[in-house]
Amino acid sequence: QNNRLYRLGASSIVAMNKWRREYGLHWQRDDFEIGESSGTSQFLIPQASWNYMTADGRLNIDKGFRFDITLKAANEALLSDADLASLELGFKAVVPLTDRIRFLARAEAGATYIKDFDQLPPSLRFFAGGDNSVRGYAYEQLGPEDDTGTVIGGRYLAVASAEIDYRFKDNWRVALFTDIGNAMIEPNEKLKQSVGFGVRWISPIGSIRLDLAQAIDEPGKPWRLHFTLGPDL
């Protein structure tokens, strides 16, 4: 995959209590090669996003949830190569079960309408897999493939994760988790799943996570190491 992206735009961001909203307009041009396909596209995209988050802290969180929604659109009559509409949803939750045990959940879903999928550049397609998606798989490993076996991305995205962690020392946790998801051309395609375990250090900049995950739908069920840091929401 080779993609050169040029983007110019402006946004208005307003934060109020637990809400944050952003309205923006940007123009982008993509010169891309992905698998057997290549091309150039341009889109003028109005975008609106809303975020709601409530939590008992900013970095190290024991209770809270977050919800995100993003809408994008483009019109062929307004500096765009095709009509486009896109919806993305995101959800995260941290739920205390006891003083030392938490349940963490996250989910992502997305859908894009465009008449000719080949006109959709990789920067606007959905991919899955990686540290913050379906662990056990490489970054953007999951999605529709062309005849060469190259992942070319999809119109739809569905990802979910469930995790339980235990705080065995003041600044340390261990965790068990399962992730499931995929990027798809049609919304009824098979999802890929992984299972794993990890350790967390509760640091001054948020949780530092080291995970080992097994891709149970891959031949040989390989294991992959993942490292992330930052707040749980």
83-125 residue pLDDT tens: 999 999 999 999 999 999 999 999 999 999 999 999 999 999 9
Rounded Cα distance between 73 and 229, Å, is 32
Instruction: Burial-class residue 198 by CB neighbours within 10 Å (0-12, 13-18, 19+).
Output: buried
| pLDDT, tens digit, 9 for 90 and up, residues 28-56 | 999 998 888 888 999 999 999 999 999 99
Rounded Cα distance between 88 and 62, Å, is 26
pTM of structure: 0.93
Rounded Cα distance between 183 and 8, Å, is 27
Rounded Cα distance between 117 and 122, Å, is 10
Residue 3 pLDDT level (bands cut at 50, 70, 90): confident
Residue 165 pLDDT level (bands cut at 50, 70, 90): very high
For residues 101-139, b (16+ Cβ closer than 10 Å) or e, as one string? ebebebbbbbbbebeebebbbbebbbbbbbbebbbbbee
Please state which of the ranges 34-43, 82-91, 148-157, 218-227 shows the lowest mean pLDDT.
Answer: 34-43
DSSP structural state of residue 151: B
The CATH T-level fold of domain 2-230 is Porin (2.40.160)
Cα→Cα distances 131→6, 11, 118, 206, Å: 26, 28, 28, 16
Rounded Cα distance between 106 and 52, Å, is 14
- Predicted confidence (pLDDT) at residue 1 exceeds the cutoff of 90: no
Percent of the chain at pLDDT > 70 equals 100
Rounded Cα distance between 154 and 146, Å, is 11
Rounded Cα distance between 33 and 102, Å, is 44
pLDDT of 25: 97
What average pLDDT does the structure give for the chain?
Answer: 95
